[in-house]
Amino acid sequence: MTDAAHTPAPHSPATDRPTVRLRPKAEARAIRHGFPWVYSDELVLDRRSKSLTPGTIARLEDAERRPLGTVTVNPDSKITARMLDFDAEVEIDHNWLVTRLRAALDLREQLYDAPYYRLVHAEADGLPGVVIDRFGDAAVIQPNAAWADAMIDTLADALAEVTGVTAILKSGSGRARKLEGLDDATTWLRGEVTAPIPVKMNGATYMADLTGGQKTGLFYDQRPNHAFIAGLARGRTVLDVFCHVGGFALAALSQGAVSAVAVDGSGPALELAQQGAEASGHAAAFTTRQGDAFAELEAMAQEGARFDIVICDPPAFAPSKQALEAGLRAYERIARMAAGLVADGGILCVCSCSHAADLTRFRNASARGIGKGGRRAQLIHTGFAGADHPLLPQLAESGYLKSLVFRMTA
């Protein structure tokens, strides 16, 4: 550590910032090759480093005191240091944020004609722990790392400068903030939006409630998977379980599905889904069922219901390594129950947004569930998050979403 007698603020200039150092046996090569995290057992954590304010900007060195870059430090987190820049002397300020945001915006403007997308996907866009979703002239920031929480006003100013958005919401929801020791407060930083925002995707209109909905109000990550299922939906009946605001169901109706049933435990989410169906012109073909998904699947099985396409897009059943085995059992169960509702020759789509459950384990759990349900299937498609959710190749956790599409053969 440096000999500074005080704990610097997160925004301290490069000349005043402290130094944190890797332990002698820590692997510096991974950092040099782009891995963005340093865990608590890889750093020298003495009295001075442990007293740093969460979110402090620091200089990272290897065990031989050679500079590795500029990091943000949170002694209270298992991920104690996150790489911000490979330049150990760079200033992390308004201009630095503007540069990162402009690079992120450039990618999204190449991908989409309208400003409705994930603008920043954390480490993959060079802003560790920061998620920003854009809804036209409004944006929602989730500062899931302490440094971003400490610099939230500067971040909001840079965001407004780069994008021209007039309403910016700071969302304090999510498990990641708790792991960083941050509060769950949600507040408007600029402007305000008081009504759900209509978002057009895949021919449908979705209603995004920025303050009362889940996460940032809409799941942009499923956009390409919605499109794939919608392409199979013409003339077919659809069941969308864990539908949130209508996800797969509304996209399927927009491409000619004859009917769609949407299931969710949230009444407000189903109300938004109904509004989306009305705005999309498909209210007559759209129905909802509110309740626990497992209970609703069991009830529909008892009713003898069958659908041409069944989609299950649950919340993360395995959000951590500790929850992995229980989560895999839940994915197996949901696949078993859902498979029984699919007509012969029909489609089953199961999704996972669990970081801890990799593609192979998730696929195996789903296949076991289908088999235990007495069904046989072909895996015809594997989907992932859209290109506005880029993957950092060195960080497997940035590629969390998996979507498996099976065709029932028996």
pLDDT tens, per residue, the chain with 410 residues: 343 333 445 555 676 899 999 999 888 888 999 999 999 999 998 899 899 999 999 999 999 999 999 999 999 999 999 999 999 999 999 999 999 999 999 999 999 999 999 999 999 999 999 999 999 999 999 999 999 999 999 999 999 999 999 999 999 988 888 888 899 899 999 999 999 999 999 999 999 999 986 778 899 999 999 999 999 999 999 999 999 999 999 999 999 999 999 999 999 999 999 999 999 999 999 999 999 999 999 999 999 999 999 999 999 999 888 999 999 999 999 999 999 999 999 999 999 999 889 999 999 999 999 999 999 999 999 999 999 999 999 988 778 999 999 999 99
- Contact present, 268 and 274 (Cβ < 8 Å): no
Please give the domain boundaries of the chain with CATH numbers for all domains. Answer: 19-85 (2.30.130.10), 94-190 (3.30.750.80), 197-408 (3.40.50.150)
pLDDT attached to residue 216: 82
Tokens of 335: 């696949």
How many C-beta atoms surround the C-beta of residue 44 within 10 A? 16
The pTM score is 0.93
pLDDT attached to residue 12: 56
What are the φ and ψ backbone dihedral angles of 110, each rounded to 5 degrees? -75, -25
Look at the block and give the residue holding tokens 């003898």.
304
Enter the DSSP assignment of 9: P
Identify the helix (H) or strand (E) that includes residue 330.
Answer: helix 324-339
Q: How far is CA 362 from CA 50, 220, 239, 333, 346, in A?
A: 38, 21, 21, 12, 21
- Contact present, 159 and 101 (Cβ < 8 Å): yes
SS3 306: coil
